[in-house]
Chains A and B, each alone.
Chain A
Amino acid sequence: MKRSATPYLFLLPYLAIFALFWAWPIIESLLLSFQNTRVYPPVWDISINWGRILGDAAFWDALRNTVLILVIQVPLMLALATGLAIGLNSQLLRAKGFFRFAFFAPVVVGAVAYSAVFRLLFNQNGAVNAALGLELNWIFDPVGAMVVIITTLTWRWTGYNAIIILAGLQSIPKDIYEAAEIDGASPWQQFWRITLPSLRPVLLFCLVLSIIGTLQLFTEPWLITNGGPGTATTTLGVYLYRQGFQNINFGYASTIAYAITLLALVFSIIQLRLFGRDQ
Chain B
Amino acid sequence: MKRLLVLGAALALTLASAQQMQGNPNLRGEITVWSWDIAAKALEANIPGFNKLFPNVKVKVLDIGNQATYDRGLAGCAAGGGDLPDVYSIENNEAEVFWARFPNCFTDMNTLQPAASTLRNQFPAFKWTELTVGNKVFAMPWDSGPVVMFYRRDIYNQAGVNPNTIRTWDDFIAAGKKIAAATNNRVKVGVIANGQDDEWFRMLANQNSCFYFNNEASAVTVNQPGCVTALETVKKLIDAGIVMQGGWNEQIQAFKAGTVATSMFGAWYEGTIRSNAPEQSGKWGVYPMPASRPGGVRAANLGGSALAIPASSRNKEAAWAFVRYALGTTEGQVTMLKEYGLVPSLLAATRDPYVSQPQPYWGNQRIWQVVLGTLGNVPAARGTQFFQEARAIMVKTQADYVAGRFPSAKAALDAAAQQISQATGLPIAR
Contact = CB atoms under 8 A, between A and B. Distances in A.
A232 B195 contact: yes
Interface stretch (B50-58, B139-147, B292-300, B381-389): B381-389
A261 interface: no
Nearest to B259: A125
Interface string B365-398: 0000000000000000000011011001101100
Interface in B2-27: none
B184 to A, nearest CB: 15
Contacts of A276: none
Contacts of A124: 246, 250
Given A39-B100, A57-B419, A245 B246 contact: no
Looking at chain A, what size class is its interface with the partner chain? Answer: 20 to 34
Interface stretch (A71-79, A164-172, A194-202, A222-230): A222-230
A137 interface: yes
A248 interface: yes
A40 B386 CA distance: 14
Interface string B193-217: 0111000000000000000000000
A117 to B, nearest CB: 14
A248 B101 CA distance: 8
Interface string B86-102: 00000000000100111
A140 B245 contact: yes
A250 to B, nearest CB: 8
B71 A229 contact: no
Interface in B237-273: 245-247, 250, 253, 257
Contacts of A245: 71, 74
A248 to B, nearest CB: 5
A37 B101 contact: yes
B253 A125 contact: yes
A56 B422 contact: yes
Nearest to B74: A248
Given A140-B196, A248-B74, A40 B100 contact: yes
Interface size bucket, B side? 20 to 34
A56 B388 contact: no
Contacts, number: 70
Contacts of B253: 123, 125
A38 B100 contact: yes
Contacts of B247: 139-140
Given A56-B422, A247-B97, A247-B388, A229 B102 contact: no
Contacts of B103: 40
Given A247-B97, A248-B74, A248-B97, A230 B419 contact: no
Contacts of B257: 125
A193 interface: no
Contacts of B386: 247
A154 interface: no
Contacts of A52: 422-423
B399 interface: yes
B30 interface: no
Nearest to B105: A40
B252 to A, nearest CB: 12
Interface string A11-30: 00000000000000000000
Interface string B405-422: 000000000000001001
Contacts of A140: 194-196, 245-247
B352 interface: no
Given A123-B250, A140-B245, A38 B385 contact: yes
9 contacts: A39-B100, A58-B393, A123-B250, A125-B257, A140-B247, A142-B399, A228-B196, A228-B399, A242-B388
Given A40-B101, A230-B395, A242-B388, 19 more contacts: A38-B101, A39-B100, A40-B100, A56-B423, A58-B419, A61-B396, A124-B246, A139-B247, A140-B196, A140-B247, A228-B195, A229-B196, A229-B395, A230-B396, A230-B400, A231-B396, A247-B388, A247-B389, A248-B101
Interface of B: 71, 74, 97, 100-103, 194-196, 245-247, 250, 253, 257, 385-386, 388-389, 392-393, 395-396, 399-400, 419, 422-423
Interface of A: 37-40, 52, 55-58, 61, 123-125, 137, 139-140, 142, 226, 228-232, 242, 245-249
